[in-house]
Chain A
Amino acid sequence: MLLIVFSLLAGAAVGSAIVVVLHRNPVVSTMSLVVTLVATAGLFVMLGSPFLAALQILLYTGAILVLFLFVIMLLNVRRERTAVTHASGMLVGAGVCAVVFAGAVVRLFWAAYSETTVAPLQADSVSLIVVARELFSTYLLPFEMIGLLLLVAVVAASWVAQKGEAVESPKPPAHGDPR
């Protein structure tokens, strides 16, 4: 029974991940990524951590990928850029990703078949209380730094966007807008 569920989830995750890479339509790719993430969340549930699963769906599928779709749709509306991709840049990126992925796989099998087996992750170690305590004590500094980094990125992005708008074309004031 568990094996059937696992096979379904794992198959969905891998299959949709392949679609993400191969499909031409960026919206279909994004939706496939949604399937990948939901299936992986299902695997987390099977491993005994609904907390991690809920967090993954909430953050990645619920927020980040919606913004992906938002951006894709905005770009399609304006018909400004069709996918500007450089073949050489893509090859380098794909190569780096492939090496990292291969390294992770090798490391996993190494750990699985070596004599000194790694202790399996306990469900308790990814419960809400443990994660929160670690995040706000041991990892407080990195946590705050990431927050600051994201804030800087957001401010920079909005500044760039405003600047670009002013240079490109001064838009006529929207109809009926009092400002």
Chain B
Amino acid sequence: MARDILQLGSMRFTSRLFTGTGKFAAHAQIPPMLAASGSQMITVALRRIDSASQTENILDFIPKEVTLLPNTSGARNAEQAVRIARIAREAGCGDFIKIEVITDMKYLMPDNYETLRATEILAKEGFVVLPYVLPDLPLAKRLEAAGAAAVMPLGAPIGTNRGLETKELIALLIENCTVPVVVDAGIGRPSHAAAAMEMGADAVLVNTAIATAQDPAIMARAFALAVQAGRMAYLAKMAEESAVARASSPLTGFLH
């Protein structure tokens, strides 16, 4: 198999498993998780400081060779997302930005309209924009036209671990988008990640399922293997399904 590279902006990735830094019991779990996963991109969030808990710098736990993907979580509209993105870049976190604009606090559904507006602004400013969206094909095409580097449809609501509930809609994105499709949110098990990759997703982003596993490093490794398996199956072009049985052994020359 030729070297299988995923390019986003000017960066080339050999790992198709993106990870997140949320929900770990301790920051110290992040380096072994990254090592076990082989992940080359990881999300972080920006918040007002809480002086009581300001004891560690999360960036100290992320090796320099791993690309930071700051998110705009907390933004309720495009303007707030743009502001967070600019701050993250100014703070030295690079050009990558995951746009996350959420107005629905029950299901944490991304607001596709505000996300598109933020993408239009930030792509023009040279950001490598990865918008987190509900899988909606016309919207995905608008994001592409606006200069998004990828689209990141959710599989299921954030943190639910329910897998690919939006599978059919994600399939439309995979079929029709020219930018990479990264399944983000809802992936709860390695088998979900493998299924997404088998379908032709270009990458998956997994946070909760790894961070809240009893052993995040081992779970990270399990996800890495699942992503590789799913990707290889996709590249190998899977055999067709059939409604009826098709014998694997010859149907002639029986011994009776």
Are A and B interaction partners?
no
- Measuring CB to CB, which residues of chain A are less than 8 angstroms from any residue of chain B? none
- Measuring CB to CB, which residues of chain B are less than 8 angstroms from any residue of chain A? none
